[in-house]
Chain A
């Protein structure tokens, strides 16, 4: 096949199949600008959703100055470290289609796990709230009121979990967002695909508001790669998290290896924050109230702001590593690349199951106590 997309090679020469570019161009150029198109991309794992989204984003930028990107793939998000649902305004081309890059989202939620299965309800409410935000800010139809606002197109990327509960979540999202375009990417293994047609519609519902575009995965001739990708993802997640915390240091800082990064993080002066002024919440787990610190020490947390209205929706500003807890002084020590001005609003730490990459804990001569030797191999 000429349009062969080789992912395991880091080369940036991704060939966008003709089918793909046609689909992208028809979405971008054959749609009205007001209201702007809302495109949702779905399909099974590893079918190329993210690559297509990136390509579509670049095509959109030919017509619009900015594009909004709603990322609901908490396992492998586009612009954030894992565990986030985010809404990002993108105004420059993505140079390399093969890899995700970090950007500061306009709004994001810390879901705290790499799959929506841990808490589908919260997941959906985050996704919907982000969409509401987009709708209010960038897709308002009441032009007389808000002249200053510019309408922008939206790309919604979804996770590749399209069976069972994952399917139900996707249908719920589709119903709520009601996109103008749905791009469905099919792979050769029929059984893994989403149902044919406009699967999210109940019978007798009105057609026509959404145009469905079905394309084929560029990688359909590959076989047996699913194992590789699964192994890949956990490593990639670690690398994403490391890349995120690399931002704690100036760009010209001489950090070239993972080891140097780990070293730098261990020596980096952290933020200190009084325990009394911070709330701590575990997103998916009950922690005995007298043992919060046992749970919190040396973990990655989402830095959020307590919202007054509801428990569930606290906007998040980024990730932090709780690198130490001094109960005598009543201080938490947190490493984060979030700038101080933004950080000042943070009064809630959200603990989830996003694990700190173990290579960040093993600095030579500075090995974290949580990296334990002499563990039975059986455990």
Chain B
């Protein structure tokens, strides 16, 4: 199990005490010496060893690939070879490639020979152990198989593929055009399956054929005539030529893939995959004899499409995993497995129960198995996994809270303990689960807080219950941070603790934590401090303490734990704390303005002379995706060229939300902001007509840049004014 966050790992091998001063010549000889093992290891050596973690599935795949390539290459000329000899050849072959990688890496530019020695040798050592098949993990075989069967495709999701598949065969010319244009985009990526390419060509040609257009124009008369006007120019001859070419490419492209041995004729090979004979004949006629008549190839094109549908499009659609109900079925699976693990762990905890039902040994293996499955599920469906687990945790917390009211908090329920144990167990294997859970909890708090404002506004009675959930979430958060702090893993001989988590990830977590934490949420703030300590950054801890000091007077405002304060005391306290806060805010504001003067654009650094900048903090994520703030599963990017219309307003909304969240209390903020109206913000005349619109309806994003929706009207606001509003809002709290 390798870490997905990029914990620093080092390759550990007793054979690699790479001395940096080794001359490369010596190394090469050394390498060559080990290239040809006198006796190739028999394949029976394949076995699982405890150190199996070391072997990379990717590399294995590559080895598999190259060995199959090599085997197939050698098999023709060297069929009489013994198995051992062939294996030797494979080894040689593989070594050659690696050698190339090595020397290409090393010889770059101003090389340092010591690196050659180091890198080359290390690579070599790892390969050696691989080729010796000593470390092939039994448990990973399945996984290897699945990576092996993966293929580079031009679409990023099956939804994209489905969109094309459905539009391509639809009746609407617009949909067909959209599908064709997407396929031509796919073609530019260079890994388009030939069946898709040929389908697109045939459909595109049909779109140019008056015969098919006529049929279409019955349905959509307006568009049909339009199309006809454009396409009159193609002669029958030219059209027949186009059809013919597409069919030839279909036959050759598809048959070549399936025809493994050249001795089988095309006709036989085509028959084997059910390709209509008609198409073979057209290929033959078209290439060697007269060009077939248009009627003929037109008819054939329809047949070809039918065949393509039955050969590729329909079976492929069926082969798509978890179609439609993907998340529900996965969730079900995760749920049942999680329950299983929790149950098993509970059994272990209570031996008197355990012995009655199952033998301890069996229980242990069962637990291990479930754990393995769960970890696999987590690595493929992390978001579903986390949300299911969180649900369980919260449910357990709620029930324990109900069972044992607040004053008897110490006797927490065993159910909750069971779940905590489950989390601990899984996170021991996959420490990233903690990060994911932390993030999910913060997300939940955020929505909960937002909800709370709403409900507070309308149904004050619900308030208590909701904030109770926030409290639960906060305590869960605190527990998780503790867990994260204490994490200790033995991995590849190295002890591996919370300190090894990338700083960027923790920073982001801390940032989010501060963002959602209300000033009176002591537990969350404490967790934030814990996180900062985990970051090992003293100045950060100091800063946080200062921040909390600013918050401190406010936090003395009664929270849900002791709501029975006398009203007068309350208001006195509030007035006092407000005055205090406003003073502090003034100084902060002043300092902020000074800082801004000193260092202009901090954020984005798009402007100025440098066009290319290294992203300052980056979470690992798959290539082709954008990073999530925590975890490395990545999020898909929106690739449409003009996504501004909808999303920008959405973005804006979330920004607003964010800002309001910062100011903790929405009601006051929105009502009192009117007072600021006249003093600070100038009304924008040209946006007056926009003032009728709701936020959601904003359609021109450039119109709202630098403006703020205040009292339903878009106002132009500058940096200064924004900070003024912000602080004013603070003071009003």
Binary per-residue interface labels of chain B (143-161) against chain A in the complex, 1 for a CB within 8 Å, 0 otherwise: 0001101111111111000
- Report if B621 contacts A (CB, 8 A): yes
Q: Please pick, from A224, A257, A293, A334, the residue contacting B123 in the complex, using a CB distance under 8 A.
A: A257
The 6 closest A-B pairs by CB, nearest first: A101-B107, A298-B624, A259-B56, A267-B620, A243-B104, A269-B618
Q: A328-B651, A374-B319 are contacts. A366–B104 as well, Cβ < 8 Å? A: no
A67 partner residues in chain B, CB cutoff 8 A: none
Q: How far is the CB of B673 from chain A (nearest CB, A)?
A: 27
Interface size class of A (residues with CB under 8 A): 35 or more
Assembled-state Cα–Cα distance A246/B643 (Å): 35
Within 8 A of A (CB), among B297-340: 311-312, 315-316, 319-321
Q: Are B157 and A369 in contact (CB under 8 A)?
A: yes
Query: Known contacts A324-B624, A365-B633; can you find 20 more A-B pairs with CB under 8 A?
Result: A7-B96, A8-B92, A9-B35, A9-B96, A10-B31, A95-B24, A98-B99, A251-B112, A263-B6, A269-B616, A291-B640, A294-B186, A321-B623, A324-B637, A359-B62, A361-B622, A363-B622, A364-B147, A368-B623, A372-B152
Q: A227-B76, A378-B312 are contacts. A271–B639 as well, Cβ < 8 Å? A: no
B24 partner residues in chain A, CB cutoff 8 A: 95
Assembled-state Cα–Cα distance A340/B612 (Å): 7
Q: Are B195 and A327 in contact (CB under 8 A)?
A: no
A299 partner residues in chain B, CB cutoff 8 A: 189
- Report if A295 contacts B (CB, 8 A): yes
Q: How far is the CB of A271 from chain B (nearest CB, A)?
A: 5
Q: How far is the CB of A107 from chain B (nearest CB, A)?
A: 16
Assembled-state Cα–Cα distance A58/B627 (Å): 47
Q: Which residue of B lies closest to A340 (CB)?
A: B612
A366 partner residues in chain B, CB cutoff 8 A: 4, 620-622, 632-634
- Report if B184 contacts A (CB, 8 A): yes
- Report if A370 contacts B (CB, 8 A): yes
Interchain pairs with CB closer than 8 A, number? 343
Q: How far is the CB of B469 from chain A (nearest CB, A)?
A: 31
Within 8 A of B (CB), among A1-35: 7-12
Interface residues of A (CB under 8 A from B): 7-12, 94-96, 98-104, 223-224, 227-228, 231-232, 235-236, 239-240, 242-244, 246-247, 251-252, 254-260, 262-274, 277-278, 282, 285-295, 297-299, 321, 323-328, 333-334, 340, 343-344, 346-347, 351, 353, 355-356, 358-376, 378-379
Q: Please pick, from B35, B99, B257, B609, the residue contacting A99 in the complex, using a CB distance under 8 A.
A: B99
Interface residues of B (CB under 8 A from A): 2, 4-6, 10-11, 24, 28, 31-32, 35, 56-59, 61-62, 65-66, 69-70, 72-74, 76-77, 89, 92-93, 95-101, 103-109, 112, 115, 118-119, 122-123, 126, 146-147, 149-158, 181-182, 184-191, 193-196, 254, 257-258, 273, 311-312, 315-316, 319-321, 379, 606, 609-627, 632-634, 636-643, 647-648, 651
Q: Are B615 and A258 in contact (CB under 8 A)?
A: no
Q: Which residue of B lies closest to A355 (CB)?
A: B190
Assembled-state Cα–Cα distance A317/B330 (Å): 46
16 A–B contact pairs at CB < 8 A? A102-B107, A102-B109, A239-B104, A240-B104, A259-B58, A269-B616, A285-B184, A287-B184, A287-B185, A290-B641, A295-B188, A298-B156, A328-B643, A364-B2, A375-B149, A375-B153
Q: How far is the CB of B181 from chain A (nearest CB, A)?
A: 4
Q: Please pick, from A10, A231, A262, A373, the residue contacting B150 in the complex, using a CB distance under 8 A.
A: A373
Q: A289-B641, A325-B639, A372-B155 are contacts. A355–B624 as well, Cβ < 8 Å? A: no
Q: How far is the CB of B671 from chain A (nearest CB, A)?
A: 31
Q: Are B11 and A256 in contact (CB under 8 A)?
A: yes
Q: How far is the CB of A65 from chain B (nearest CB, A)?
A: 16
Q: Are B155 and A268 in contact (CB under 8 A)?
A: no
Q: Are A368 and B66 in contact (CB under 8 A)?
A: no
Q: Are A360 and B103 in contact (CB under 8 A)?
A: no
Assembled-state Cα–Cα distance A292/B641 (Å): 7
Assembled-state Cα–Cα distance A282/B101 (Å): 28
Q: A295-B189, A297-B156, A353-B190 are contacts. A326–B626 as well, Cβ < 8 Å? A: yes
Q: Are A12 and B28 in contact (CB under 8 A)?
A: yes
B11 partner residues in chain A, CB cutoff 8 A: 254, 256-257, 260
Q: Are A327 and B637 in contact (CB under 8 A)?
A: yes
Q: Are B101 and A235 in contact (CB under 8 A)?
A: no
Q: A260-B56, A271-B615 are contacts. A254–B10 as well, Cβ < 8 Å? A: yes
